[in-house]
Amino acid sequence: MKSLIKTHLRALGIVVMLSCLALGADRPIDVAHSMVRIHVGKSGLFSAAGHEHWVAAPIVEGNIAETEPQHIWFRVEAGKMNVEDDPKVSPADQAQVQETMQTKVLYSGDYPEISFRSTSIEKNKDGWLVQGDLTLHGQTHSVSAVVHKSQNAYVGRCQIKQTDFGIKPITVAGGTVKVKDELQVEFSIMLVPGP
């Protein structure tokens, strides 16, 4: 009986040790040096009258496991997303774009979090194909991106459609100027330096 208990305790110890090693493989994202940017384009008959802009979406927390099984998870607070300064746009217009984004596009009061969690990461000739679930505007859909390592950062881009997440692209002037449904997303993600 004692040998059976010792065997179970050894097995339990091995499981705990492996679990700790697996947890140790997760490294926190360096939120101060990582960024997600979204390019918002324009279309329509008089699209020359509208403004294209970039939106910064700061990552507030997340982690990456670089060893098998690889995965990434991160979270953005919608209320912290900010339209980047553009010298061609007046401060009043920029403030209006920011307000419209928060209240009529993101509805950040109702949907305060945006998150991504990978479901698979496959090595390819360009780096990795990362697929995962993006939760935005209260809806979750699958997205994919090709990611490569550039110095100490994981860099990549993908495209999403606003309408896939229940967001109606903004239109003005009776639809002659409108925001494109497709958004171009770029990211550069760094990890907190190890010990």
What the block records as the tokens of 132 is 């995962």
Does a structural domain hold residue 159?
A: yes
| DSSP-assigned letters across all residues of 3-50 | HHHHHHHHHHHHHHHHHHHHHHTEEEB-TTS-EEEEEEEEESTTGGGS
Does a structural domain hold residue 20?
A: no
Instruction: Answer whether residue 150 shows pLDDT above 80.
Output: yes
**63-108 residue pLDDT tens:** 999 988 899 999 999 999 999 998 888 889 889 889 999 999 999 9
Distance CA 77, CA 81 (A): 7
Q: Please name which of 162, 161, 128 lies closest in space to residue 145, comparing C-alpha atoms.
A: 128
What's the structural domain count of the chain? Answer: 1
- Under a CB-based contact definition with an 8 Å cutoff, are residues 114 and 76 in contact? yes
Does a structural domain hold residue 142?
A: yes
Instruction: Answer whether residue 3 shows pLDDT above 70.
Output: no
3-state SS, residue 97: helix
Residues with Cβ within 8 Å of residue 109, at least 6 apart in sequence? 79, 103
Does a structural domain hold residue 73?
A: yes
What percentage of the chain carries pLDDT values higher than 70? 79
Does a structural domain hold residue 100?
A: yes
3-state SS, residue 92: helix
Q: Please name which of 141, 167, 162 lies closest in space to residue 41, comparing C-alpha atoms.
A: 162
Does a structural domain hold residue 172?
A: yes
Give the residue numbers spanning the domain of 74. Answer: 28-190
Does a structural domain hold residue 157?
A: yes
| The pLDDT of residue 93 | 86
CATH number, domain containing residue 80: 2.40.128.110
**116-134 residue pLDDT tens:** 999 999 999 889 999 999 9
Does a structural domain hold residue 109?
A: yes
Mean pLDDT of 35-54: 73
Q: Which of 98-102, 139-143, 172-176 has the lowest mean pLDDT?
A: 172-176
